[in-house]
Copies of this chain bind each other. A is one copy, B any other.
Amino acid sequence: MRSAPLGIFDSGVGGLTVVRAVQELLPAEDILYLGDTARLPYGSKSPETIRQFADQDVGFLVKRGVKAIVVACNTATAHALPSLQEKYDLPILGVIEPGIEAVLANPAAERIGIIATRGTIDSHAYQHALALRRTGLMIYGQATPLLVPLIEENWMDHPATRQVLATYLNPLVEKGIDTLMLACTHYPLLIPILRDLLPAEVRMVDSATTCAEHLSRELARLDLLHDVGGVGKLELHLTDLSDAFEALARQFLKQSTGRIHRAVLDA
């Protein structure tokens, strides 16, 4: 069982930032990645539809014998994680819990901004989890639906991106946030420009590295670590293939993707 691959899925290729963080921390693990590019994005769709899509995504990975699953998508974690954990009999981890832990690792954190898709913000998953863990926090959620399209256009340095970010961030900065949670797996690509736009004292927490650390602890606890040394394989499956998706996958992964397989999900 320890030598079985990890399953990681996202609505598209943004979850590859999580894959990269997992590869850095747990290089021996084989990884099976599924990106539901045919139906992306999930962030603007309804909870029921996201639950149905996430269920089909998990079904695909379970059928291929993964030992554990990471939901590398904030929107899917927000809306579907509990129902997935109830239905399937293997460890399923989301990206929200690790992000929350990382935010609260700073005992001085008091004013927390959260940027995410509208689906994640409207779910209130981060807001509830933070408020339950520490009293007296001020929490400001900001839906930032244009960031994924801008990142996918590779307009990281475009003046329009700065203008969009200023519109989204100014209300948070005015509230005096000390922490900004980047609650979408696409957003690590914006860290340089965010660093530029935010006051120096604002700490950024992203979903990718925190999720990899959480996964490592959970696999150790469950005695599921593939601790044989060597370098694991990565196999990419996408529900829609195109040159644009392949180029984007390379960009998120910062390495060659190998052959990408076309995934067909069961209804």
Contact = CB atoms under 8 A, between A and B. Distances in A.
A163 interface: yes
Nearest to A149: B149
Interface stretch (A42-50, A69-77, A202-210): A42-50
Given A146-B149, A146-B150, A153-B145, A240 B45 contact: yes
Nearest to A143: B153
A262 to B, nearest CB: 9
Interface size class of A (residues with CB under 8 A): 20 to 34
Nearest to A39: B39
Interface in A237-267: 239-242, 244, 267
A179 interface: no
Contact of A149 (B145, B163, B240, B241): B145
A267 B56 CA distance: 14
Interface of A: 37-39, 44-46, 49, 118, 145-146, 149-150, 152-153, 155, 158-160, 163-164, 167, 239-242, 244, 267
